[in-house]
Structure 1
Amino acid sequence: MKHLFFLFFLFPFFVFAQKSIDTALLKTTEFTSDKIIAIDNFGTVFYLQENTIYRKTTSETLSYNNLQLGEVTSANAFNPLKINLFYHDFNTIIILDNRLAEIFRIDFNRILPYKNVTHVSAGFDNTLWLFNQDNQQLELYNYKNNTTQARSLPIQNKILDLVSNYNNVWLLTEDYIYEYNYFGNLVSKTKNQGYSELIENNGNLILKKQNALYYQGKNDNEATLITLPNLLINQFFVTNETLYIYQNQKLQQFQLKIN
C-alpha cells in the first residue's frame, strides 16, 4: 500500500515531464537545394544551390551569385526587401532587394574600426546583428552610417547560432541562450540544455538537440518536445504555425498543434 501511494504521488510529475507538442503532416514536396533559407506566407522559397541564392515563386525564379567572394556562410531573408548574404572568408555582407539585386555591400576589411565577424542576423531598418569575434561582443550595426547602435557585454562562450526579429535577438552558445532587446540590454539568460541550433518565430523558439526539436514559447522558461516521425532533420524552420523540415531532397510541412 505504501508503494502504491508513492506511485500515485509521482504520477502527475511523470506525465508533466513527458508532455509534448503534437504535429500533423500536411504535405511532402520533392525539392533540391543545398540549403533552404526561408519560405514566406505566399509560398515563395529562398534557397541556396551551388553557392547561388534563388527566389522561387509559382511564376518565376530569380537568382544571384558572387563568385569572387567565395562560399556563402549564411543567408537571411527575414526581411525580404533586405536579404543579407554573409561571406565569412572575405568578411563581407551583401544586401539584396526583393528582386535579388545588390543594393549594399559591407566589406569589414575596408571599414574602421575593423570588425572580425563570425555570425550575422537581420535587424530593424538599416541594421544588422553581428558577433564580433575580436571583442567577443554582440553588436547592432547600422551599415548605412557605419555606427554601432548597441553592444552586449563580452561573451566568453563558443557561439553556435544567432537569430533575430525586429525587436529581439537570441544568441546560442555552448553554455547559455542569451536574449537581448534592440537596445542591447540582456532580457534573459538560460542554461543551454544541449541544443545546437535554434530558429525564431514571433518571439517563440524552436531548438534542435541531436535529431529532435523542442518548442519554447515566448513566455515559457522550459522547452517542450515536438512529436515527429522518425526522420533525419537536416534543416528546419517555421512560418506561422507550419513547421518545415528538409531532408533527403524532401520538404515536409507539419502543422504544430500548440495549445
Structure 2
Amino acid sequence: MKKLFLFFSLLSLSFVFGQNQQIFVKKLDSLDVKADNYLGQDQFDFYYYIRNTILFKFKDDQSFEYKNTSFGEITKIDIQNPLKIVLFYENFNAVVLLDNQLNEIQQLNFSENTNSILASATGIAAQNQLWVYNSLNQQLGLFNYLKNEYKTISTAFAENIKYYQTDFNTFYWIDDKNNWFSCDIFGRIKTKGKIPDFDTVAIINEHQFIYSKNNKLFLEDFEKKQKHEIELSEKTFKKFYYKDQILSIFTSKGIMNYKITTP
C-alpha cells in the first residue's frame, strides 16, 4: 500500500513539474497582412513589415512606406527609436536613417569613411551613435552619424556572428558555435552561455531568450536554469517577435498577437 501511495505521489509530482515547463498564452488579436518579412511593433503601436523590398509602417488608418531603388534589398531594420529608424543595406555597405513618417533623414556610406569599414552588423546606440561590426578586423565599433566618426571599442571576435540584436547600450550576439555574448558601449564583453540549436531566436534581457526549433517555441532562462515550451495554436510559422510581454507570430495568413507572462 505504501509503495502504491509513493507511486501515485511521484506521478502527481511529475505531472505538476511537466505543467510548470509549459507557458500558455492568451490570443489578443490578429492582422491580415501579406508580407515577405514581419519586423515588429514600436512603442506607438505601429506595425512594420517588408513586401517586395518596400518597407511599410501602419496603424489603423495611418500608413507610410519607403523604397530605395538604388540599394534594393534591406538586410536589417532597427525600429527601437521610431523617430530614427535604421535601415542596413549590407550589399552596399550603407545605412539609411528614416524619420517617423519614413522620410529619409540621412544616408551613410561606410566605404567613404576614412577608417576601413566593411559593416556586417548595425543597430542604433546611445548618444547619436550606431553599433557597427567591422568584418575587416572582426571588431565592434561605434559610429557617430552626426560627426561621421568611427571608433573601435572591442577586441576581435573569436567566431563569426550567427545572430545579433542591439539596444541603446548593449550589443548582443550569438556566434557560429551558439555561444551568447554581450558588449556594452565601453567595450566590455560578457559571456552569457551557450544557446540551444535554433531556427530563429530573440533575446528578451540579460538572461532570458525565446527561440524556435522545428516549429516549436521555447523560453529559456539562464539565471533560473529553466526551460519552458510555449503552447501555440499555430503549428507552422515564419517568424515570431517579442516586445513587452506581447508575442507576435507571423504566418502565411498574417500576424497573431498573444499575451505572454514570462516566468
TM range (shorter): 0.7 to 0.9
Q: Which amino acid aligns with 2:138?
A: Q
Aligned equivalents of 1:128, 1:223: Cα separation in 2:
33
| 1:146 aligns to 2:158 (yes or no) | no
Aligned equivalents of 2:26, 2:173: Cα separation in 1:
30
Q: 2:132 matched to which residue of 1?
A: 130
Q: Is the 8 A contact 1:173 1:192 kept in 2?
A: no
Q: 2:188 matched to which residue of 1?
A: 185
TM superposition shift of 1:143: 2.3
The within-5 A match list for 1:180-259 is 180-201=183-204, 204-216=208-220, 219-259=223-263
| Structure 2 unaligned blocks of 5 or more | none
Q: Is the 8 A contact 2:164 2:174 kept in 1?
A: yes
Aligned equivalents of 1:79, 1:218: Cα separation in 2:
28
Q: Could you say what secondary structure the match of 2:237 adopts?
A: coil
Q: Is the 8 A contact 1:170 1:180 kept in 2?
A: yes
Q: 1:70 matched to which residue of 2?
A: 72
Q: Which amino acid aligns with 1:27?
A: D
Aligned equivalents of 1:251, 1:245: Cα separation in 2:
6
Q: Alignment partner for residue 167 of structure 2, among 157, 165, 178?
A: 165
Aligned equivalents of 1:90, 1:131: Cα separation in 2:
15
Q: Could you say what secondary structure the match of 1:15 adopts?
A: helix
TM superposition shift of 1:152: 2.4
TM superposition shift of 1:218: 8.3
Q: Which amino acid aligns with 1:186?
A: I
Identity among equivalent pairs (%): 24
**Larger CA deviation: 92-101 vs 122-131:** 122-131
TM-score, normalising length from structure 1? 0.86
TM superposition shift of 1:256: 0.6
Aligned equivalents of 2:57, 2:128: Cα separation in 1:
22
Aligned residues: 257
TM superposition shift of 1:14: 9.5
Q: 1:116 matched to which residue of 2?
A: 118
Aligned equivalents of 1:245, 1:164: Cα separation in 2:
21
TM superposition shift of 1:93: 0.5
TM superposition shift of 1:36: 1.8
**Larger CA deviation: 59-68 vs 180-189:** 180-189
Aligned equivalents of 1:152, 1:54: Cα separation in 2:
35
Aligned equivalents of 1:135, 1:222: Cα separation in 2:
37
TM superposition shift of 1:170: 1.1
